[in-house]
């Protein structure tokens, strides 16, 4: 994101009246998005106006949170469809959708990828569970990559069938709960995946998230997207179920007993 320095900003406004300059300085309007337009309107020179417009565009990008974009007017993508798109809603049955996806891949031998688009707000847990149920397909393996959001602000992943990914044997593990902050989690993963200056000895290529439940799944998927933008590298992830042993209530009462429950694993590799 380009930033607009104070001196450049004032340079662009040098033809404005001193009154305006004083007003701008006094109100620290520099921090507000209104002053560049105000400045552009108040100047007479076309050159200055154009320059101000450019400064405005460069220095004050409209940062629209994905949630905001979704609640606003629906914007259609301006690019043709590259891979077939499947919508995942929060009422989709992940199990049925996974069955449909693997059937569609099996019926179309030339199909290598599909885009899954999360429809219905930022409720992405159904998408993560769909990817997990796909791992039950005995005839194929699936990996996914984060796609940049389009103008509609929807979360998207591109699903690939039978694309091998080389994962680390001893990935760093993160356990996710519904309380996990996806941004902090993304930074923690990034520090594992991205080497410091020149030192690659302690740098991993794979990290794994372990979680149970919808809220945790939502945070995990947002964290993977955040990681993609933070690390600025291609990341590929695989989702699957794993049995984990937890003590039964009897075990807590000091009698022997462990029971197994499925947990969801997201294995993320910097590819």
Ligand X SMILES: *[C@@H]1O[C@H](CO)[C@@H](O)[C@H](O)[C@H]1NC(C)=O
Residue (4 or 221) nearer to ligand X, CB: 221
Q: How far is the CB of 159 from ligand X (least distance, A)?
A: 14
Residue (210 or 214) nearer to ligand X, CB: 214
Q: How far is the CB of 117 from ligand X (least distance, A)?
A: 6
Query: How far apart are the C-alpha atoms of 242 and 265, rounded to whole Å?
Result: 7
Task: Please give the residue ranges that form the binding site for ligand X (CB under 6 A).
Answer: 85, 87, 90, 100, 103-104, 107, 119-121, 123
Q: How far is the CB of 150 from ligand X (least distance, A)?
A: 11
Side-chain half-sphere of 6: how many Cα atoms within 13 Å?
Answer: 7
For residues 174 and 207, the answer to whether their CB atoms sit within 8 Å is: yes
Residue (61 or 103) nearer to ligand X, CB: 103
For residues 136 and 98, the answer to whether their CB atoms sit within 8 Å is: yes
Strands (E), 172-247: 172-176, 206-211, 235-247
Query: How far apart are the C-alpha atoms of 28 and 68, rounded to whole Å?
Result: 27
SS3 218: helix
Residue (22 or 96) nearer to ligand X, CB: 96
User: Residues with Cβ < 8 Å from 171, sequence gap 6 or more?
Assistant: 204, 206, 207, 208, 267
Q: Give 30's DSSP letter.
A: G
Q: How far is the CB of 262 from ligand X (least distance, A)?
A: 22
- The partner residues of 239 in beta bridges, in order of sequence, read 266
For residues 42 and 16, the answer to whether their CB atoms sit within 8 Å is: yes
Q: Give 234's DSSP letter.
A: -
Q: How far is the CB of 221 from ligand X (least distance, A)?
A: 14
Residue nearest to ligand X (CB): 103
Residue (90 or 183) nearer to ligand X, CB: 90
Q: How far is the CB of 165 from ligand X (least distance, A)?
A: 25
Residue (97 or 227) nearer to ligand X, CB: 97
């Amino acid at each position: 994101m380009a930033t607009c320095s104070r001196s450049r900003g004032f340079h662009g406004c040098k033809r404005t009246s001193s009154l305006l300059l004083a007003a701008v300085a006094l109100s620290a309007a520099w921090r507000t998005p209104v002053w560049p337009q105000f400045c552009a309107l108040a100047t007479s020179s076309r050159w200055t106006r154009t320059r101000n417009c450019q400064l405005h565009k460069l220095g004050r990008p409209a940062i629209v949170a994905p949630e905001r974009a979704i609640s606003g007017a629906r914007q259609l993508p301006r690019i043709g469809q590259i891979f077939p798109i499947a919508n995942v809603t929060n009422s989709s049955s992940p199990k049925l959708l996974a069955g449909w996806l693997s059937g569609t891949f099996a019926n179309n031998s030339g199909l290598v990828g599909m885009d899954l688009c999360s429809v219905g707000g930022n409720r992405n847990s159904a998408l993560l569970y769909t990817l997990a149920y796909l791992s039950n397909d005995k005839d194929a393996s699936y990996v996914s990559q984060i796609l940049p959001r389009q103008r509609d602000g929807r979360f998207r992943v591109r699903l690939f069938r039978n694309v091998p990914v080389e994962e680390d044997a001893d990935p760093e593990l993160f356990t996710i709960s519904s309380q996990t902050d996806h941004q902090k989690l993304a930074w923690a993963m990034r520090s594992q995946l991205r080497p410091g200056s020149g030192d690659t000895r302690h740098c991993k290529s794979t990290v794994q998230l372990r979680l149970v439940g919808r809220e945790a799944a939502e945070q995990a998927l947002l964290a993977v997207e955040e990681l993609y933008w933070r690390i600025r590298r291609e990341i590929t992830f695989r989702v699957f179920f794993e049995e984990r042993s937890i003590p039964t209530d009897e075990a807590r009462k000091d009698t022997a007993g462990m029971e197994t429950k499925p947990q969801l694993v997201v294995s993320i590799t910097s590819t």
